[in-house]
Amino acid sequence: MIRIAVANQKGGVGKTTTAINVATAIAATGRRVLIVDLDPQGNSSTGVGVDQNTRQRTSYDVLIGACSAADAVVPTAIPRLSLIASTVDLSGAEVELVEMEGRIHRLDTALQAPAMQAYDYIIIDCPPSLGILTMNAMVAAQSLLVPLQCEFFALEGLSQLLNTVERVRAGYNQRLNIVGVVLTMYDKRNRLSEQVAADVRAVLGKIVFETIIPRNVRLSEAPSHGLPALVYDHRCAGSEAYIDLSRELLGRTEPHARAA
Ligand code: ADP
Ligand code: MG
C-alpha cells in the first residue's frame, strides 16, 4: 500500500484538485484508492460527491480516536474510490491534538490497521498549513506530492515546506520522500507561466514532473457537480493532464509494475 500526502502550505495551489483527479485516475487503472480529506474545508469530500450532511464519521473522529479508519470510510460513486471525509470539526483538532498522546502519529497509527491494507493507494489531501494535521499526513505517508502554482511566487514558501519535511524525517518518519513537484494552473498564453515553469525546473530539477497541469475551466467547474474533472469531462485538457501525471506518478511509485 502506497500513501501519498498532497501538501503545500499555500492555499489555492491545486492540492485538492490534484488529490481528487490523481486518485480517480489511479482508481481507473484497477487499483483500490482511498482519499483521506485532512482539510477542515472538506473540499475533496465535496469534490467526490460526498455531501456535507452525509458525513457522519470523519477524519476528525479518526484522529481523536473516536472510531477506526475503516469505520470512517465511505464509498463514492466512482468505482474503487473511497473516502474518509472531513467537516469543520477538524479545525478544532489542531488544538485538541496538542494535548493527546502520540499526536503526530495518530493518522499513521489509524492507517496501519489491517483493514486499511485493502487499499493500493491512500491519497491524503492536506490543509493549507504546516500544522499538526499536515504533520500527521507527513508521518503517515511514504511520499509527498507537492503542487506548485505557476505564478510569480511559486517557490516562495518551499524552503519552509522542505524544512518541515526534514524535521519529520529526522524525528518521525525516515522513509518520507518527495515523489514529485507538479506545476499547476499553467497558462500558455501568459509568458510568466512559461518563465516560472523554466525557473522551477532549473531550481528543482528532476523531481518536477514532466506533465504540467494547464489552467482549465473544466477543472474548476467539476467540484460544483460533485465529480472529479476526470469523470465530469474526461477529455478536457485538464483531465488529460491528470491522466498523464498519474502515469508518471505510478512510474515513480511502482517502477517495476507494468502500467495497467
Ligand atoms: P488547494 O487545495 O491547494 O487550496 P484547489 O485544488 O482547491 O487548491 O484549487 C483552488 C481553486 O482553483 C479551486 O477553485 C479549483 O477548482 C481551481 N483550480 C485548481 N486547479 C485548476 C486548474 N488547473 N485550472 C483552473 N482552475 C483550477
Ligand atoms: Mg484544498
pLDDT for 120: 98
- pTM for the full model? 0.97
Expressed in angstroms and rounded, the spacing between residue 177 Cα and the centre of ligand 1 is: 24
Nearest residue (CA) to ligand 1, atom 20: 14
Nearest residue (CA) to ligand 1, atom 14: 220
| Residue 18 CA, closest ligand 1 atom number | 6
Expressed in angstroms and rounded, the spacing between residue 152 Cα and the centre of ligand 1 is: 17
Domains of the chain, each with CATH number or no CATH: 2-253 (3.40.50.300)
pLDDT for 155: 87
Nearest residue (CA) to ligand 1, atom 4: 12
- Which parts of the chain register pLDDT below 50? none
Q: Which residues contact 237 (CB under 8 A, 6 or more apart)?
A: 214, 216, 218
pLDDT tens profile 134-157: 999 999 999 999 999 998 888 888
pLDDT for 258: 58
Grid cell of 136 as nine digits: 500527521
pLDDT for 259: 52
Residue to mutate (ligand 1; options 220, 221, 225; most atoms within 8 A of CB):
220
CA distances from 174 to 122, 171, 254 (A): 19, 8, 19
Write down the residue that cell numbers 498522546 correspond to.
Answer: 101
pLDDT for 257: 73
**Which ligand has its closest atom nearest to the C-alpha of 236?**
1
ipTM metric: 0.99
Count other C-beta atoms under 10 Å from residue 15's C-beta. Answer: 26
Residue 259 phi, psi dihedral angles, 5° rounding: -65, 130
Residue 221 phi, psi dihedral angles, 5° rounding: -80, -35
Expressed in angstroms and rounded, the spacing between residue 5 Cα and the centre of ligand 2 is: 12
Say how far apart CA 58 and CA 60 lie, in whole Å.
Answer: 5
